[in-house]
Amino acid sequence: MSPRTRRQKAAAELEATDPSPAVNGTFQEAPKESPEEVQENVFLFAPNLIGYARVVLTMASLYYMPLHPRTCSLLYSVSCLLDALDGYAARYYNQSTTFGAVLDMVTDRCTTACLLVFLSSAWPRWSIIFQSLIALDMASHYMHMYATLSMGGSSQSHKKVEASRSWVLYQYYHSRTVLFICCALNEAFFIGLYLLSFSSPILSPSLLQPASDASPWSAGALEQARANKIDSFWPWVITGISFPVMALKQFINVVQLVKASKWLVEGDLAARNALRQAKN
């Protein structure tokens, strides 16, 4: 066997046994197998389970809302208080997710809207106010979320607001204590109004009038069924104490709507300028 043939045979044997084959004359390490990705079920994260519980409690409170103020208020209040617990669970278990943040916001908006819808039916003369509050709440949060995702990036939280963009929103979202107090007392105000619809002839004079309609499901019959269900003292206290914070919360909603609109317009102007420069 010639020396050249022996060298070729030895090289072939080395290539078959060496875990680091030669590529283009250079020996390289064999690629290491990547570790298996951890499969997680985001839907079953602890904060999201709390979010599902909030939805169930809200639906139960809506069932009792027409004629059972104590049961409804208890279920509704527990659902609102769990709003603080899911955020704590997300930080404690390191399970903060985009799905959880959206679930939390959607639950908040729908819960408040459902209560305001009932207040509109309980006090038709003030329905335009409750309808305006629903529209403001939905519009401000939707535009703020959309502006954050489109201008700040899909990974940016809607609660991350720079002080340079809005000092009011920075103070509102930056402090968990301020955020909790504003949200809790805002809901407490509407719960107080809900309880007053069962107990205060001052706000609902029709509670003193007998129902003229024979149908038990008519508006008059429902108002008569609500009459004198509870004493009005504590509902007045709750409503009076929480009113200033509720008014502040609506002001923050207006600021949030305006700032989000301006942020979206900034993006529109930047996109139009970039398009004009590309054409030139």
pTM: 0.79
What stretches of 94-126 show up as alpha helix (H) in DSSP?
Answer: 98-122
Mean pLDDT by runs of 10 across the 280 residues of the chain is 56 54 48 66 95 97 91 95 92 92 93 96 91 97 90 75 90 92 96 88 58 58 66 92 97 96 93 90
Lookup result for tokens 């570790």: 35
Count Cα atoms within 13 angstroms, Cβ side, for 260: 21
The Cα–Cα gap between 257 and 139 comes to: 7
pLDDT digits (tens, 9 = 90+) for 209-222: 555 555 666 666 66
pLDDT recorded at residue 150: 85
Structural domains of the chain in order of their starting residue, each with its CATH number: 42-203+219-263 (1.20.120)
What is the pLDDT, as a whole number, of residue 53? 97
Catalytic positions are 108
- Give the tens place of pLDDT for each residue, 233-249: 999 999 999 999 999 99
pLDDT at position 14: 52
